[in-house]
């Protein structure tokens, strides 16, 4: 997969099949667009092109940035693009000045004049350009004049729930990782460096890898215990994670949650190392116990419950 930061460099892509968007999460709806693009490209001997933006438009245009949450980092997004077979990615620098570009000007001067697409493929509700005024109708109006074809992908749904990044973020916020995974089409995960904690878990027989994520990537705000899989150095471990502020210990503020991951059947030092945590399902709410003995007893029960839940889960 080729990645371009200057759209002029895309002028030699043969028979381009293009889509445009932010693609937060690269969920099942996005994957349907990519599958259509690959089918079209194969039919004309062309290549697929994803046009996306950095930073995310909401980071530039949103006044209250403290409320912004994203399903994946820019690096994770590129990994997903490659995983789903995209040939080329164009990353446009999104600025306030760029946001004022009229929709038709954006299509003409950025897409037509540089990429020369044979096809433009969009989702059922896609909007673009200044004030998000551009849509499928505008592309239809422009296609004859500029010699490209337009395809619109129908809304995708799971169990009659229309798929969208917003619905996935909302599912994660309530702790419904199982629903989020259904809408994503893969297991929601985070990758982060393990930081030094207070090591109380180790004294209880449950050493934890502590992860502190940037606020914009801390999507699971419903505090509790989760069944997880952890990927580290080519191996996968069953695990449980507590997301919250450790009320029994009382050393963490309400607005500064942490992810504490206990890897099963692992004995090693993870401090300063990166681990990949996949969230499978929610086990229970975070609770405040009368003391460390009661906490330990509950952790033992949690571990048994997670083992049972993950019994038939493919590692």
Query: Splitting the chain (315 residues) into consecutive groups of 10 residues, what average pLDDT does each group show?
Result: 96 96 96 98 98 94 80 96 98 96 96 97 91 90 95 90 93 96 97 83 82 90 94 96 72 68 92 96 87 87 95 81
Domain boundary among 161, 178, 199: 161
Same domain? 211 vs 95? no
Same domain? 6 vs 114? yes
User: 177-184 vs 165-173: helix axis angle to the nearest 10?
Assistant: 160
| DSSP for residue 65 | G
Q: How many domains are there within the chain?
A: 2
pLDDT of residue 134: 86
In a domain, 181, yes or no: no
Report the candidate in 308, 289, 307 with the shortest Cα–Cα distance to residue 298. 289
Same domain? 136 vs 220? no
pLDDT of residue 132: 87
In a domain, 119, yes or no: yes
In a domain, 180, yes or no: no
Same domain? 140 vs 26? yes
pLDDT of residue 255: 60
Same domain? 119 vs 8? yes
In a domain, 37, yes or no: yes
Same domain? 90 vs 18? yes
Q: How many CB atoms lie within 10 A of CB 37?
A: 28
Calpha distance 241→262 (Å, rounded): 6
pLDDT of residue 248: 58
Same domain? 136 vs 208? no
Same domain? 145 vs 235? no
Same domain? 151 vs 296? no
pLDDT of residue 81: 98
Q: Are 73 and 40 in contact (CB under 8 A)?
A: no
Residues 6+ apart with CB under 8 A from 267: none
> pTM value?
0.91
In angstroms, what CA-CA distances link 40 with 49, 85, 163, 224? Answer: 12, 13, 23, 45
Domain boundary among 145, 161, 177: 161
pLDDT of residue 212: 87
Same domain? 147 vs 65? yes
Expressed as residue numbers, the domain containing 257 is: 187-309
Report the candidate in 115, 286, 279 with the shortest Cα–Cα distance to residue 192. 279
pLDDT of residue 24: 96
Calpha distance 14→10 (Å, rounded): 9
Same domain? 259 vs 209? yes
Same domain? 11 vs 118? yes
Domain boundary among 124, 143, 161: 161
In a domain, 176, yes or no: no
In a domain, 70, yes or no: yes
pLDDT of residue 78: 98
Identify the CATH number of the domain in which residue 126 sits: 3.40.50.620
pLDDT of residue 276: 97
């Amino acid at each position: 997969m080729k990645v371009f930061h200057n759209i002029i460099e895309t002028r030699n892509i043969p028979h381009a099949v293009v889509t445009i968007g932010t693609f937060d999460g690269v969920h099942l709806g996005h994957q349907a667009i990519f599958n259509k693009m690959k089918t079209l490209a194969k039919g004309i001997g062309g290549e697929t092109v994803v046009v996306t933006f950095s930073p995310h438009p909401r980071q530039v245009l949103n006044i209250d940035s403290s409320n912004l949450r994203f399903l994946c980092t820019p690096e994770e997004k590129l990994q997903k693009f490659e995983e789903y077979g995209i040939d080329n990615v164009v990353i446009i620098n999104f600025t306030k000045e760029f946001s004022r570009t009229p929709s038709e000007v954006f299509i003409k001067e950025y897409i037509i004049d540089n990429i020369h697409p044979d096809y433009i493929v969009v989702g059922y509700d896609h909007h673009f350009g200044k004030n998000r005024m551009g849509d499928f109708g505008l592309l239809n109006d422009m296609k004859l004049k500029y010699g490209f074809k337009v395809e619109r992908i129908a809304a995708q749904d799971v169990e009659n729930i229309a798929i969208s990044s917003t619905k996935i973020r909302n599912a994660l916020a309530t702790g419904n990782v199982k629903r989020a995974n259904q809408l994503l089409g893969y297991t929601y995960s985070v990758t982060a460096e393990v930081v030094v904690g207070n090591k109380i878990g180790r004294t209880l027989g449950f050493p934890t890898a502590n992860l502190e994520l940037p606020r914009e990537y801390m999507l699971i705000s419903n505090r509790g215990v989760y069944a997880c899989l952890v990927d580290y150095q080519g191996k996968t471990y069953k695990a449980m994670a507590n997301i919250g502020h450790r009320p029994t210990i009382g050393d963490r503020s309400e607005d500064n949650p942490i992810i504490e991951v206990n890897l099963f059947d692992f004995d090693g030092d993870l401090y300063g190392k990166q681990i990949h945590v996949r969230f499978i399902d929610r086990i229970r709410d975070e609770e405040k116990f009368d003391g460390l003995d009661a906490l330990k007893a509950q952790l033992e029960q949690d571990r048994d419950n997670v083992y049972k839940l993950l019994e038939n889960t493919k590692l």
